[in-house]
Amino acid sequence: MLAFLLAAVLPGVVLGSVFSLSELSWTLKNANGSIAIPATVPSQAHLDLLRAGIITEPLLGINEFTQRWIVNDNWTYTADLTPFIHTLQGSEASDTPQAERALLVFYGIDTIANITVAGHPVAWVNDQFQQYVYDVTDLVGSPLHGDSNLTVAFESAYYYGMNVTSRPDAEWTEADIFEYPYIRQWIRKVQSDFGWDWGPAFVPSGVYKPAYLVTLDSGSSESNTPSSHPLLVSSEGPLFIEESSLEISKVGQTPIAPPDESADWLVNVTLSVRSTVPVKSPSISISIPELKITSHPVSVQSISGSTTSPTFITATFTIPDSVPERWFPHNLGTPKLYNITTTIHLSPTSSKSFVTQTGFRTITLVQTPYSQQDIDTRGITPGDQWHFEINGKAFYSSGTNIIPYDPFYARTTSEQVRWVIESAVLSGQNMLRVWGGGTYQPSDELTGGYDFYSACDELGILAWSELIFSDALYPINDFLLTAVEPEVRQNVRRINKHPSNAQWAGGNEIEGIVINVNETQANGTHYLDEFVFLFQDFLHDIVSSETSSVAYTDCSTTNGVLSLDPYVLRFENKTAGSIYGNSERYNYDATQAFNYSTYPVSRFVNEFGFHSQPSFYSYEEVLLSPEDFSFNSTVVASRDHHPPAGGLAFPNPNAPQGQGQMSAAVELWLPTPSTSDSNQTFAQWCYSTQVFQSMNMVAEIAWYRRGAGLGENNLGSLVWQLNDIWQGTSWSAIEYSGRWKVLQYGMTGAYSPVVIYPFWTPTNETLEVLVTSDRWETVEGVAQLTWYDWHGTELKTSHHAFSVPTLNNSEIFKASGLPSILPHGHTPESVFLLLNLTAKVEGTTVTHEQIFTPTSLATVPLIDPKISLTHTGGLSFKLSARGGVGAWTWLDHPAGTVGYFADSVTSKPSNGFYLIPGIDRSVTFILNGDRSRVKDPNPSDFVVRSLWNNTHL
């Protein structure tokens, strides 16, 4: 029996037949052998070159440009299998049960590679998103020419793409063009690896996910302790579980119709297995100890005694509706999870068990027409619905979009990802959209390197999942379809077990592209037909055959459907005056930032954003020279990829447009940063772009939430974007290090259960103040509106009781004409309005505040706030304004720390507020020790700033 230490995953635990390839001694070489260095698995070539000292950190300075030589080379990973071969041969000669078969298991290879074992060719692979399993027993046992190596030889994805697209039969397809143009849609690889408008183009390669050698013997065994993961079932005995799917739905449920919420729960277990021995009459049973449920064994398909290909076995079980507690997003209930033990009975004396954590819920994407009754009695605008229901109830989807966490997947950690998800929860979000130009997010560290979906399950946040197609028309050929089908099936089956998964979208923003091509290109119908085949038919049928609990949509942003069964897309076949599908909104003209007529009137808005700079602290991590610390320095501008370069020119020739959009926004709406200290000026520019970003996004969130009570019945808004991939210009709310931007705190207020917001229309000088609730019950409370001047003098106060029905608004104030709105004798520049509310939600007191300024802050006469920051113990502080009002008062935590500031009374995240003389603020910095390099920050290193510091030291 083989015994290897899987130290990378389960330190100190001996596993008989699962050997992590990270335990081998690896070498990385380039094509001509001029570089040969120690390497690791999982990894990517850039990371191993960094560890060897060949290159510096790729994110430093202009390394994105200077390290392009790495992309242009072919890289080979090699490891000596001699220890494994000797052990295998020794086992065969021993009296212990024979280790009959050896399986080579890769959970992710990036991307174009030849695999050889002991000199024998095993496979050529070309899909980053597939897992690969190969029986290499005979190859390991008979090495060629003394070659005892496992070799994974990578071809440059860039050159591969160039070669493929130079073929005479390569079809032209339209796509957004980033650094490496015209090739990404031919390669099943992270699309943003080739560049995007918020990130770098490194085009990495390597065995980027965990990989294993698994040996199976023919002996039978039974263990009373279930394995913690299906992979570990093969630690003893003949069975390897290649894939595991566990899906919970309602009896009779389909992805396209609301389920019968009173029906029994249906538990569907599907396993892809390889076995060294045939099993004629296997069965599967499940148990849920917490619910005291143990099923009878269900007979399943016989298992062939072959390890060269898998056998799929499926069993279903029913559980009464009333037995389990339901899983809910955190803001609507409890994300209840259960441990389900699945046991495979191979014979009366041999069985294997493993544990899966999951939850019971229904999630429905409703796309059917509104009824005439809804139109007549609720005032709904005619058209189709487009919203989610959880456990039979419509709810408001509040959230953001996520992108890859690092340009190099292999160094992403669970701690890094969990902090982003926890931050989403802290800011009131209940949904994250997994953007279709990145990667399929993993479920666990053992196979994925880090955990995403399990953390979403635990923390109670829904994940809108997408297939990896983005901003391109994908050429249809058998080569593509042959790769895509197993990719999609594997990932849908893997993610089935997660109650957090809300839907599958076919890709990102492609429907709009093909509609435009169809309308503008002479042969546009050809591309429309290809789109219909791939996204309406092919991918839809694959996803629908693998899941019954979540819906499929063709695209992230869609015009909806003409029919769900059969699935037929609407495209532009709309009825005038009706609303269909969902929307997105980007407008980089800052003069229109708060013009509500430019905001979509939509059922659901899945993308909207404006870019900003990261903080001065983030730039300190990557800028190398003092002259770089300037808003439009060459290096800073080179890290602005908006609009995209459209090729390999460096620095981005289009960056002045993106820089100019941020500059114009700040200059129009805020005091223009300019002081005698160049570093302070730069820091205030970074901060000011974030302030504007937050102002803009909060206004849009408020508008879309308002729509829940109007004809559009808007039930979703997802900000672009939550996390960052590097230290540079982006749309993110959280910086690469995990530091929160102003927007992250802004969303904490905007996504509160009950919010107050001033809707100002300058063209007719109308101010309407609404209270909006996303609760399922009627919410009652009191709002207070208080006018102040910039000295902090209270000028006028009014109180307003409100009662807000479920998912609706209550108007508490409306007036037109500045004379009837402003305090008597004051101009728009001299005053601002503080709006706040207090309400009861499910027995808990909730509060929210908002600010209204009748004019741009660029024109107001700010007064030195003379902010006092007093340390009150631990990492707690009291802030006082001893002069004027501190507009957008902002606390920065020291470099090397990650965390957030929380109000010392409410415990809600709090930063970026108006500090009014006589109204002190007390906050505590909640340190994330796992993410912080500095574990015990000095309170004297905390910094406070406001808009006053844009023009004053």
The predicted-structure confidence for 381-416, as pLDDT tens digits, reads as follows: 999 999 999 999 999 999 999 999 999 999 999 999
The reported pLDDT for the residue numbered 88 is 65
Backbone angles phi, psi at 817, to 5 degrees: 90, 120
Q: Indicate which residues carry an active-site annotation.
A: 509
pTM to 2 decimals? 0.96
Task: Note whether 835 and 785 are within 8 A (CB).
Answer: yes
Q: How many CB atoms lie within 10 A of CB 937?
A: 18
> In whole angstroms, what is the distance from residue 731 CA to residue 690 CA?
10
Structure-block tokens of residue 227:
């394995």
Q: How many CB atoms lie within 10 A of CB 330?
A: 17
In angstroms and rounded to an integer, the radius of gyration of the C-alpha atoms of the chain is 29
Determine if the peptide bond prior to 416 is cis (ω within 30°).
no
The reported pLDDT for the residue numbered 14 is 32
Chunked mean pLDDT (size 10), the chain, 953 residues: 34 58 96 98 98 98 98 98 72 50 96 97 98 95 92 98 94 92 96 98 98 88 82 88 98 93 98 95 97 96 94 98 98 98 93 96 98 97 98 98 98 98 98 98 97 98 98 93 97 98 98 96 95 98 97 98 97 96 98 97 98 98 98 97 96 97 98 98 98 98 98 98 98 98 98 98 97 97 98 98 97 96 96 97 94 97 98 98 98 98 96 98 97 97 98 97
Give, in degrees to the nearest 5, the angle at Cα 931 between 927 and 935.
55
> In whole angstroms, what is the distance from residue 390 CA to residue 463 CA?
13
CA distances from 552 to 78, 256, 501, 504 (A): 41, 8, 12, 5
Picking from 765, 903, 746, 900, the residue whose alpha carbon sits closest to that of residue 822 is 765
Handedness of CA 415, 416, 421, 427 (dihedral sign): positive
- The letter for the amino acid at 831 is V
Picking from 901, 909, 786, 762, the residue whose alpha carbon sits closest to that of residue 837 is 786
The reported pLDDT for the residue numbered 591 is 97
> In whole angstroms, what is the distance from residue 363 CA to residue 117 CA?
45
Determine if the peptide bond prior to 762 is cis (ω within 30°).
no
The reported pLDDT for the residue numbered 5 is 32
Picking from 196, 730, 736, 125, the residue whose alpha carbon sits closest to that of residue 437 is 196
The reported pLDDT for the residue numbered 99 is 54
Kindly tell me the burial class for residue 382, based on how many C-beta atoms sit within 10 Å of its own C-beta (0-12, 13-18, 19 or more): middle
Task: Note whether 891 and 877 are within 8 A (CB).
Answer: yes
Structure-block tokens of residue 804:
């807000």
Per-residue burial over 619-636, b = 16 or more CB atoms within 10 Å of its CB, e = otherwise: bebbbeeeebbbbebebb
Count CA within 13 A, CB hemisphere, residue 303.
Answer: 31
pLDDT, tens only, 333-354? 999 999 999 999 999 888 999 9
Task: Note whether 432 and 722 are within 8 A (CB).
Answer: yes
Structure-block tokens of residue 449:
């390197």
Structure-block tokens of residue 68:
């392009």
* Secondary structure (H, E, C), 139-195: HHHCCCCCCCEEEEEECCHHHHHHHHHCCCCCCCCCECCCCCCCCHHHCECCHHHHC
> In whole angstroms, what is the distance from residue 98 CA to residue 881 CA?
77
> In whole angstroms, what is the distance from residue 941 CA to residue 939 CA?
5
Determine if the peptide bond prior to 404 is cis (ω within 30°).
no
3 CB-near residues (< 8 Å, 6+ apart): 14, 15, 16
Map residue 522 onto helix, strand or coil: coil
Picking from 716, 909, 719, 721, the residue whose alpha carbon sits closest to that of residue 329 is 716
CA distances from 597 to 578, 580, 585 (A): 17, 19, 12
Element (H, E) at 29: strand 26-30
Task: Note whether 469 and 477 are within 8 A (CB).
Answer: no
Kindly tell me the burial class for residue 934, based on how many C-beta atoms sit within 10 Å of its own C-beta (0-12, 13-18, 19 or more): middle
Per-residue burial over 783-799, b = 16 or more CB atoms within 10 Å of its CB, e = otherwise: bebbbbbbebeebeeee
46 CB-near residues (< 8 Å, 6+ apart): 55, 58, 67, 70, 202, 204, 408
Conformational region of residue 457, where left means phi above 0, alpha means psi within -120 to 50, and beta covers everything else? alpha
Backbone angles phi, psi at 412, to 5 degrees: -70, 140
Give, in degrees to the nearest 5, the angle at Cα 770 between 767 and 774.
155
Backbone angles phi, psi at 941, to 5 degrees: -90, 0
Give, in degrees to the nearest 5, the angle at Cα 44 between 38 and 49.
45
Task: Note whether 581 and 368 are within 8 A (CB).
Answer: no
Determine if the peptide bond prior to 442 is cis (ω within 30°).
no
Beta strand extents in 609-753 (DSSP E only): 716-719
